[in-house]
């Protein structure tokens, strides 16, 4: 096998690893690292926030993401040569490093996304209006 084909396989596998980590892994890490602390913060700010529903959803999202990454990674590692395996792992690491700042709860993007995803965990607006009267 020539050097060009090995390099091409490495680069293709790196791109696949980057995509897999971006689609599944980063989302699971953001849910784990950011959403849990945001949910606890919302519970302190809004006592009627349904923390148990939010945590169940975060755990489900995290587990599905990690399982997808694990299954795909095991298949790639078992079915490819070492150059492609290293490329895949390199791509995953690059995706992780690129998205490292997204894993903080103080990221505005995470906060907006959290508000949309967990809108049903907040009490109804009618309850707030009745309390003001």
Asked if residue 2 lies in contact with residue 75, where contact means CB atoms within 8 angstroms, the answer is no
The pTM of the full predicted model, rounded to 2 decimals, is 0.78
pLDDT at 126 over 70: no
Tens of pLDDT, residue by residue over 1-41, are: 689 999 999 999 999 999 999 999 888 888 888 889 899 99
Over residues 91-98, the mean pLDDT reads: 92
Out of 28-32, 94-98, 123-127, pick the least confident.
123-127
Per-residue pLDDT, 121: 87
């Amino acid at each position: 096998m020539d050097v060009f084909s090995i390099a091409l396989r490495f680069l293709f596998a790196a791109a696949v690893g980057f995509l897999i980590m971006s689609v599944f892994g980063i989302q699971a890490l953001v849910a784990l690292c950011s959403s849990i602390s945001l949910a606890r913060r919302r519970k302190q700010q809004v006592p009627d926030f349904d923390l148990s529903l939010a945590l169940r959803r975060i755990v489900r999202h995290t587990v599905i993401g990690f399982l997808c990454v694990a299954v795909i990674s095991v298949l790639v590692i078992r079915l490819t040569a070492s150059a492609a395996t290293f490329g895949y792992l390199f791509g995953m690491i690059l995706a992780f490093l690129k998205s490292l700042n997204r894993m903080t709860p103080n990221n505005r993007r995470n906060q907006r996304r959290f508000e949309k995803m967990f809108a049903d965990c907040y009490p109804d607006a009618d309850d707030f209006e009745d309390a003001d009267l």
